[in-house]
C-alpha cells in the first residue's frame, strides 16, 4: 500500500471528482448530510429518487470494493454510549448548521464561500477541543 | 438520467472515501488530535477534493447542468447563529466518534455494530433537527 498521504490525495481527488460530477451533471451540491437529511425529514421530497440513488452508490461501491480488496479497519469505538451521543450530535449539528465536511468543506471552500469556511473552522476547532478534553483530560475515549 | 448521475457521483464518493482512509475513525481522530499522534492525512484528502471542485465551479460560469435545470445560487453572504451552533455540535460528535455523514454510510457494510449504531443515531438526530431548529428560532429570535 502507498503511504497514507498519497492514498489520501488520490482518494481526495476521487471525492472531488464525485462532487464535480454531481454539480456539473445535476446542478447540485454534494453534501452528504443534506442529501441524507432531506430524505429523513422529508424536505427533499421533490428529488427523493435522485437522493436515494446517490446514497445507494455511496453504500454499495465501498461494499463491493471491500469484497474485492478486503475491508479496511474502521477502529470504531466499542463504547455504544459514545456512539449514540456522537451520532445525535452529528445528525442534529449538520442539519442545524446546514452542512458537513463534504458540503461546507469540499464544496463550500472550493468556491470560497464564507459560510463554508466559517463552518469548517468551527467544526474542526470543536472536534479538536472535544478529543483533547475527552481523550487527554478525562481519558474516556 | 439524473438518477444515473446521482448513482455515479455517490459511487465515486464512496470509492474516494474508501481509498483515502477516511472510513478509518483513527485517521480522522488522528487529524483532530493535535496533542496526540497527529495524522495529517485528512488535509491531503480535503485538499485533493477541492482541486476538481475548484475547476468545476469555474465551469459553471459557462455551461448549464448536463441533465438540465440550473446551478445552485451564490452562497449566502451572512454567517448566522445556526451555522455556528450547528457546526460546533457537529464537530463535537465528529471528534467523539471520528465519523461524519459520508464515511458513516460508506463504511456501513464493514463498520460492524458500532458503525450501525452511529448511523441510526445520526439519522435520529437528523429527524429531530427540524424541531430543534424551530425551537432555537423561538428561544432566540433572529436579529
Task: Report how far Cα B104 is from the mean position of its chain's Cα atoms.
Answer: 10
| Residue A1: partners with Cβ closer than 8 Å, 6 or more residues away | A7
Listed residue (B99, B131, B142, B8) closest to A19, CA to CA: B8
Listed residue (A12, A86, A70, A74) closest to B50, CA to CA: A12
A137/chain B closest Cα distance in angstroms: 11
Q: What is the pLDDT of residues B2-42, one digit of tens each?
A: 999 999 999 999 999 999 999 999 999 999 999 999 999 99
Residue B143 has pLDDT above 70, yes or no: no
> The pTM is what?
0.96
CB contact under 8 A, A22 and B105: no
CB contact under 8 A, B14 and A60: yes
How far apart CA B98 and CA A62 sit, in angstroms, is 18
Q: What is the pLDDT of residues A26-72, one digit of tens each?
A: 999 999 999 999 999 999 999 999 999 999 999 999 999 999 999 99
A116/chain B closest Cα distance in angstroms: 9
Task: Compute the mean pLDDT over every residue in chain A, rounded to the nearest whole number.
Answer: 96
How far apart CA B93 and CA A86 sit, in angstroms, is 4
Q: In the prediction, which pLDDT does B44 show? A: 97
Interval A91-117 mean pLDDT:
97
Q: What is the pLDDT of residues B37-60, one digit of tens each?
A: 999 999 999 999 999 999 999 999
Is A19 touching B (CB cutoff 8 A)?
yes
**Cα separations in angstroms, A117 against A35, A46, A94, B60, B83:** 20, 29, 15, 20, 11
pLDDT confidence bin for A3, thresholds 50/70/90: confident
CB contact under 8 A, B33 and A131: yes
Say which of B36, B47, B129 has its CB closest to residue A135. B36
Interval B68-92 mean pLDDT:
95
- Chain A, chain B: beta-carbon pairs less than 8 Å apart: 488
Q: In the prediction, which pLDDT does A1 show? A: 54
CB contact under 8 A, B87 and A53: no
Element (H, E) at B3: helix B2-20
| Maximum distance among all Cα pairs of chain B, rounded to whole angstroms | 48
pLDDT confidence bin for B66, thresholds 50/70/90: very high
How far apart CA A80 and CA B99 sit, in angstroms, is 14
> Residue A114 in contact with residue B79, Cβ under 8 Å?
yes
Q: In the prediction, which pLDDT does A6 show? A: 96
Q: In the prediction, which pLDDT does A61 show? A: 98
Q: In the prediction, which pLDDT does A18 show? A: 98
Quote the ipTM score: 0.96
The ranges assigned to domains in chain A are 76-141
Amino acid at each position: 500500500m502507498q503511504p497514507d498521504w498519497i492514498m489520501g490525495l488520490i482518494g481526495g481527488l476521487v471525492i472531488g471528482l464525485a462532487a464535480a460530477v454531481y454539480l456539473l451533471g445535476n446542478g447540485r451540491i454534494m453534501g452528504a448530510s443534506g442529501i441524507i437529511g432531506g430524505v429523513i425529514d422529508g424536505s427533499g421530497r421533490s428529488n427523493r429518487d435522485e437522493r436515494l440513488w446517490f446514497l445507494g452508490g455511496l453504500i454499495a461501491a465501498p461494499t463491493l470494493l471491500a469484497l474485492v480488496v478486503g475491508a479496511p479497519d474502521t477502529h470504531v469505538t466499542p463504547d455504544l454510549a459514545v456512539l449514540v451521543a456522537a451520532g445525535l450530535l452529528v445528525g442534529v449539528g449538520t442539519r442545524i448548521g446546514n452542512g458537513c465536511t463534504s458540503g461546507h468543506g469540499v464544496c463550500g471552500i472550493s468556491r470560497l464561500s464564507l459560510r463554508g469556511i466559517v463552518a469548517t473552522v468551527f467544526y474542526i476547532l470543536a472536534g479538536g477541543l472535544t478529543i483533547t478534553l475527552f481523550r487527554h483530560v478525562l481519558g474516556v475515549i | 438520467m439524473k438518477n444515473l448521475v446521482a448513482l455515479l457521483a455517490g459511487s465515486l464518493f464512496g470509492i474516494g472515501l474508501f481509498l483515502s482512509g477516511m472510513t478509518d475513525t483513527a485517521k480522522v481522530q488522528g487529524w483532530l488530535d493535535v496533542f496526540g499522534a497527529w495524522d495529517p492525512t485528512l488535509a491531503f484528502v480535503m485538499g485533493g477534493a477541492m482541486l476538481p471542485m475548484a475547476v468545476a465551479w469555474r465551469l459553471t460560469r459557462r455551461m448549464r447542468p448536463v441533465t438540465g435545470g440550473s446551478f445552485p445560487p451564490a452562497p449566502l453572504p451572512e454567517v448566522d447563529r445556526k451555522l455556528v451552533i450547528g457546526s460546533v455540535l457537529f464537530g463535537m460528535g465528529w471528534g467523539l466518534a471520528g465519523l461524519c455523514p459520508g464515511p458513516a454510510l460508506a463504511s456501513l457494510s464493514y463498520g460492524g455494530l458500532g458503525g450501525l449504531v452511529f448511523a441510526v443515531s445520526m439519522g435520529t438526530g437528523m429527524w429531530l433537527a427540524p424541531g430543534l431548529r424551530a425551537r432555537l428560532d423561538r428561544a432566540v429570535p433572529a436579529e
